[in-house]
């Protein structure tokens, strides 16, 4: 009897443990995601409803989104962000892949040091590097152009591509391309036709992450551009009025800026986790 009772007690405890664990996981996940959710809810409210932060049941309105589009030219910010991010990703992927291939394929002297040098340029604080970039932009008359952001973003994205692609190349057996070259391919053709297809998921994930980094960059965008080029995040300034921040509009803008990233986050989560750790 007592044996059976203790078994029941054990099962209850185990269930309580599991339930408790899932409860804690739910709490942490909520903590992580809540600011995004709250901003989304706020973006659907009218100005009067903002004074009731806890209100959940209301008729959502898309007015804030319409106003940011019609009155504040949200599409222009989105287009600018897209242009900068895409051109930066294209440049970094091409240059970075070639370098990673060179590092993987050839016996270079000081290979370790080169890799470290490449990696270390990634950790420089952007608020420090933005000063010389400002001077460069000033003297070359390149401030407030797509070009200066595309180049400045290479500081963090190019090393990233090299490191990621090097790790993918390391998993490709060298015999593959040797066979292709015996069949008459040049080295570049072998890379393009034989090696790259092997690692195309990795290449794609790297490109997506670069895009996310570029899309999310703020410091360079804030100080190197002003009126011609406007990245989404720097558009915040337009929503501050004398009466304070227009939270409905700002929330709509924030959600539009964050949405593509959230989608990409879900699609490439596995690689993001790998790339970060």
Partner 1 sequence: MDRIRGLAPWLWVAPSAVPLLLIGVVPVALLFYISATSFEIGYPWSDRTFVGLANYQRLFSGREVEFWPALRLSLVVAAISVVLKFLLGLAVAVLLHRPLRFEYFIVALLILPMAVNPAIAGLMWKLMFSFDFGIINVLVEQWTGAKIVWLSHRYALFSVMVVLVWMHFPLSALMLLAGLRNIEREPLEAARLDGCSSWQVFWHIVLPQLKPVIISSSIFQAILAFQVFGPIYAMTDGGPGHATATLPIYVYKTAFGIGAMGLAAAAAVVLVIITMALSAALMASERSEK
Nearer to partner 1, 20 or 197 (CB): 20
Smallest distance from partner 1 to CB 70, Å:
21
Q: What is the distance between the alpha carbons of residues 79 and 201, in angstroms, rounded to a whole number?
A: 27
> CB of residue 250 vs partner 1: minimum separation in angstroms?
6
What are residue 240's phi and psi, to 5 degrees? -95, 120
CA 54 – CA 26 distance, rounded (Å): 20
Residue 247 found at the interface with partner 1 (CB under 8 A)? yes
Q: Token match 């090299």: residue?
A: 162
Of residues 72-91, those binding partner 1 (CB under 8 A): none
Q: Which is nearer to partner 1, 202 or 224 (CB)?
A: 224
Per-residue contact flags (x/-) with partner 1 for residues 84 to 123, judged by CB under 8 A: ----------xxx-xx-xxx-xxxx-----x-xxx-xx-x
Closest distance to partner 1 from the beta carbon of 4 (Å): 26
In whole angstroms, how far apart are CA 185 and each of 105, 161, 181, 194?
Answer: 16, 25, 5, 10
Nearer to partner 1, 1 or 129 (CB): 129
The nearest distance, CB 40 to partner 1, in angstroms, is 10
Answer for which of 139, 141, 184, 241 binds partner 1 (CB under 8 A) is 139
Residue whose entry in the numeric block shows the structure tokens 């391309």: 177
Cβ proximity to partner 1: between 89 and 250 the closer is: 250
Site string for partner 1, 225-244 (x = CB under 8 A): -------xxx-x--------
DSSP readout, 111-148?
A: HHHHHHHHHHTTSS-HHHHHHHHHHHHHHTT-TTSHHH
Tokens standing for residue 30? 């909520």
Kindly report the number of other CB atoms within 10 A of residue 244's CB atom: 8
Write out the binding residues for partner 1, residues 142-171 only, by CB under 8 A: 151-152, 154-155, 158-159, 162
How many chain residues touch partner 1 (CB under 8 A)? 88
The nearest distance, CB 8 to partner 1, in angstroms, is 22
Residue 63 CB, nearest approach to partner 1 (Å): 16
Whole-number Å distance between alpha carbons of 42 and 40: 5
Residue 8 binds to partner 1 (criterion: CB under 8 A): no
The single residue among 17, 173, 174, 197 that binds partner 1, judged by CB under 8 A, is 174
- Residue 244's DSSP bridge partners are 241
| Binds partner 1 (CB under 8 A): choice among 16, 90, 147, 245 | 245
Answer yes or no whether residue 182 interacts with partner 1 by CB under 8 A. no
Q: What is the DSSP string of 210-257?
A: HHHHHHH--HHHHHH-SSS---GGGGGGGGEETTEE-HHHHHHHHHHH
Positive/negative CA dihedral, 230, 234, 239, 241: negative
């Amino acid at each position: 009897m007592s044996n059976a009772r203790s078994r029941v007690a054990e099962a209850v405890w185990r269930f309580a443990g599991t339930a408790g664990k899932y409860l804690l996981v739910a709490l942490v996940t909520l903590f992580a995601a809540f600011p995004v959710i709250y901003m989304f809810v706020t973006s659907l409210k009218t100005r009067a409803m903002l004074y009731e932060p806890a209100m959940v049941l209301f008729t959502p309105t898309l007015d804030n989104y319409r106003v940011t589009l019609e009155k504040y030219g949200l599409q222009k910010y989105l287009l600018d962000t897209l242009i900068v991010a895409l051109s930066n990703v294209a440049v970094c992927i091409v240059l970075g892949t070639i370098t990673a291939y060179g590092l993987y394929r050839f016996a270079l002297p000081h290979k370790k040091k080169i890799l470290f040098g490449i990696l270390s340029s990634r950790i420089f604080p952007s608020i420090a590097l933005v000063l010389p970039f400002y001077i460069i932009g000033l003297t070359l008359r390149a401030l407030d152009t797509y070009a200066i952001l595309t180049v400045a973003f290479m500081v963090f994205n190019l090393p990233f591509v090299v490191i990621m692609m090097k790790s993918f190349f390391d998993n490709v057996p060298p015999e593959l391309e040797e066979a292709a070259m015996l069949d008459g391919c040049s080295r570049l053709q072998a890379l393009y036709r034989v090696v790259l297809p092997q690692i195309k998921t990795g290449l794609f994930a790297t490109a997506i992450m670069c895009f996310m980094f570029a899309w999310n960059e703020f410091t360079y965008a804030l100080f190197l551009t002003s009126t011609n080029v406007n990245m989404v995040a720097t558009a915040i300034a337009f929503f501050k009025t004398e009466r304070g921040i227009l939270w409905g509009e700002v929330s709509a803008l924030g959600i539009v800026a964050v949405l593509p990233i959230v989608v990409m986050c879900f699609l490439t989560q596995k690689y993001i986790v790998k790339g970060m750790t």
